Each structure stands twice: as C-alpha cells, then as structure tokens.
Chains A and B, each alone.
Chain A
Amino acid sequence: MSVIAFYILTVLCIFSALMVVFSKKPVHSVLYTIFCFFNIAGHFLLLNAQFLAIVHIIVYAGAIMVLFLFTIMFLNLNAEVEPHKSNLLKVAAVVCGGLLLLILVSCLKGAENIPVNPMLDTQMGMVKNLGMVLYNEYMLPFEMLSILFLSAMVGAVLLGKKETK
C-alpha cells in the first residue's frame, strides 16, 4: 500500500520537477514547484513525519512560494520577456548536467545494499520526539540558525532600504 503510494508520489514529484524546468511561463513553473512540494510533503507523511510534512506545506507552499508567485505576478514575466540563450550554452549546460546525472546514477546503482538501521525510531517524526531532539541534542545548531536568520533579515533590510543620496 505504502509502496504504491511511494511510487505514485515519486513519479508525480519527478514529473512536476521536470515541468518546472520545461514550462514556458514562469507562473506555471512556480505552480509546478508548489505541486512538487506537496509530493515531497507526501513523502514525509510516508515516513511518519507528520509535523515535518505540515510545516513543509506551511512554510514552503504556504509562505515562500506565495511570495514567489507574488513577485512574478508583479513583474508580469512572460515567455517572450525571457532572454534568449545561445544554443551552444544550452548544449554545454545539458552536457554538464548529464555528466553529473551519469556519475550520480552510476554510483548510486550499487547503493541498494545499505542495510536499514533497525535502531531508528519509527516515532521519530512525531512532534514530541522532534521537539525533544531539537531542544536537547541539536540545541546549538537550532540557536545558531536564529543568528543565520537574523543576519538574513538584517541583510534584507539593508538591501531594501532606500539609498539616501
């Protein structure tokens, strides 16, 4: 049951990720990204990480992508506005990306023999356990992330302020 769900989600996820790249209109790309995020949230659910799934939807689909869509609507980007890239560049990009894909695939082919760690707690994704881990073991990174966000916030204000000259 969950295997079938996994494959459906994965196919949809890869399809939407590809459509992000291939669709002509930026708005469609954004919408496919959102769809992709939903599929990833579905994967989280399959892993019994309900909190992560919901937060993923709230933060990514509900907040970040709304702002993204908002900006794209404001700029009114269309297929015609997009600058035309030379074919050589496209070929080069495809070759580079293809090489990375080749390396990853060829290396990951031998990856299926990794045993699943039986010590892992299946209840790990529950809010309570997550909170315990976050505020004990991962306290320092958690607090340091607030400095990261603070610096990003100060930076955004700095860049957003009007230049008084």
Chain B
Amino acid sequence: MELFDLLIKLALVVAVFTIALVIAMYSTYAERKVAAFLQDRLGPNRAGPYGILQPLADGGKMFMKEEIIPSKADTFLFILGPCIAMMTACMTGVVIPWGNTLIIDGKAYIMQVTDINVGILFAFAVVSIGVYGIMIGGWASNNKYSLLGAIRASSQMISYELAMGFSIIALIMTTGSLSLRDIVEQQSGFHWNFLYQPLGCLLFIICAFAETNRAPFDLPECETELVGGYHTEYSSMKLGFYLFAEYINMFISAAIISALFFGGYNFPFLDKIDAPHNVITLIGTAIFFAKIIFFIFFFMWVRWTLPRFRYDQLMHLGWYVLLPISILNVLVTGAVTLFRNGQFHF
C-alpha cells in the first residue's frame, strides 16, 4: 500500500510539474494575445488555428539557436544562473494545496504534494532564493548592463520582500496557522481572506508583481535603459529558461494569491451541492485553476496598461509607502485580534 501512496505522490508531482510548464507555456501565448487584444491588434495567428501552436514554435526556435557563452564569463556560474531561476520557480508548487481530498478505496489522498506546517514560509524562502538566479546570471555574464540589471533586481526584490513578509504576518495573525492547507480550509464558503485582510491582500499583490519582476516593476530587464538587463548576454535555451521561469513564477504567484486571499479551491455554496466528495473536489480544483488563470490575466492586463516605474520611484514606493503601511496593517490586525479575543481593554 505504501508503494501506492508513493505512486500517487509521484503522479501528483509529475502532474503539478507538467501543469506548471504547460500553463507557463501558454502564458507566453496568452501574453501576446492579451497584448494584442488590449492594443487592438490580432497577435500571433500563423502557427495552427488562432496561432495556438505558437509556443511550440517558439520553443523549437529557442532550442535551435546558437549557444553563446561569452569568453570572459564565469562559465560555471553562467550556466548555474538560469538553472537556479528555473529550479526555484518550480519548487514552490509542492506546498500549494491544489484541491481537497480525493477518496480512493476509502482512503483520503490530499491533492497536495506535501503539507508541511510551515508551508507559507517555505514559499517565502524559495522566493527569496529566486533572486540568486538573476544575480548570479547577471554577474557571471561579465557585462555592465547585466550587472546593473542584477543589482536592480536584487535590491528591488529585497525591498519588496519586507512589505510582502509583513503582509503575510498580518495574514498569519488572522489565520493562526502557517500551513497553506489550514489557511485554505479556513476560507471555506465565502470567508475569503481578502475580506478580512483587504489591505494585506493589496500589498501582497503589489509585492508579488515586484517579486516576479513583472511590469510595472520590470526594471531589471528594462530594455530602454539596460538593453536586456540581467539576461543581455544569454542566448538559446538559457535565455528561454529565464523567460520561462518568469512565467512559471507568475503562475505560482497567481496560485498563492488565490490560495491565501481568494479561498483556494473553495467556492461559495460549496455545501449546497449534492454530489459525491470526489466530484466536489474536482470542481474545487477546477475553480482554483479558474482563479489562477484570472490572476494570470490580471498580471498581463496590468503589464499592458501601466507604464514602467522609474527606479527611484520604485524604491520610494517600496520603502516609504508599502513598508509603513504593511507595518501599520500588522499593528491594526494585532489590536483587532486581541480585541476580538477579549484580551484587550480600552
């Protein structure tokens, strides 16, 4: 039986991995379609019907391209950079609860690779390591633009990690658990966390944009100033890894946002539906993915709507606006929590 459990886990890992990759792949397509839609263009439409095979063509092109490693570059680190970026992007998926339990042979299997009791911190740790991929890549290229991009990326990510951490702390104070599964289960029905933590939710979303280096915070790869930023010297599939990692990150961020603040696999009137448990679980998972796809769309929507920040504006926003607000949010949340528990008297 243990072997069967292991197989289920393995299947889950493979499934999560595949889904992440496929969604990331089609995000590249969606990105262009959304951009085209917002700018009143057609977008890619040659490869397959509606250009649906475009990502495959892009992937093929990436693989076929010539592999260039600059002669002055630090070869090992140059290769390590995109690897780390890709690896950290894929790692967070293991703690996200993709759905409720599936009952097979009277035994419940959770739709989550692993439910560690510090899941949210794990996600946070992986995000904080993710910056190394960019920094190492930027430094190893031995190129001034790359280095500038890398330095921008790291300072930006550190700055926004603080506000993000505080918004998570406020959330943890309301939920009382660090496990992502517990947090999602507490939101059953329509008790979604963004109703209780509206400010924290907003802060988290803003910081998620900064952490994934998405517009309007895409300074590290700002074409107008830095050619290509940290991946200026990269070509072929290593460049592909960097770009791909960004889309996977976006997918994961969307998943975390929907799990933390928008109920995860819960949906209103869940208990009104009279259906077998497994069916409800599958519906929940589908709804979770619908939410994720909405947030991916939201990411793109913002990218093609808002202009890019200037670098000092970005830092100003991070340190002078978001950080104080998030600390205030923590204080208020703490006070309210104590007040509701009756441990706080005026």
Contacts and interface: CB of A to CB of B under 8 A. Distances in A.
Category for how many chain A residues contact B: 20 to 34
Interface in B113-161: 116-118, 121-122, 124-125, 128-129, 131-132, 135-136, 139, 147, 150-151, 154-155, 157-158, 161
Contacts, number: 63
B129 A69 contact: no
Interface in B203-233: none
B177 to A, nearest CB: 9
A138 interface: no
Contacts of B147: 73
A57 interface: yes
Nearest to A38: B129
B117 A66 contact: no
Contact of A34 (B116, B132, B157, B178): B132
Contacts of B154: 66, 69-70
A54 B135 CA distance: 21
Interface in A32-57: 34, 50-51, 54-55, 57
A155 interface: no
B139 A58 contact: no
Interface in B143-187: 147, 150-151, 154-155, 157-158, 161, 178
B118 A50 contact: yes
A127 interface: yes
Contacts of A62: 125, 128-129, 131, 161
Interface in B31-72: none
Given A62-B129, A63-B161, A73 B117 contact: no
A55 B57 CA distance: 42
Contact of A66 (B77, B124, B135, B139): B135
Interface of B: 74, 77, 116-118, 121-122, 124-125, 128-129, 131-132, 135-136, 139, 147, 150-151, 154-155, 157-158, 161, 178
16 contacts: A31-B77, A31-B136, A34-B132, A50-B117, A54-B118, A54-B122, A62-B161, A63-B161, A66-B132, A69-B132, A69-B135, A70-B154, A73-B135, A73-B139, A73-B151, A74-B151
- 3 smallest CB-CB distances across A and B, nearest first, come from A62-B128, A57-B125, A54-B121
Interface of A: 25, 27, 31, 34, 50-51, 54-55, 57-58, 61-63, 66-67, 69-70, 73-74, 126-127
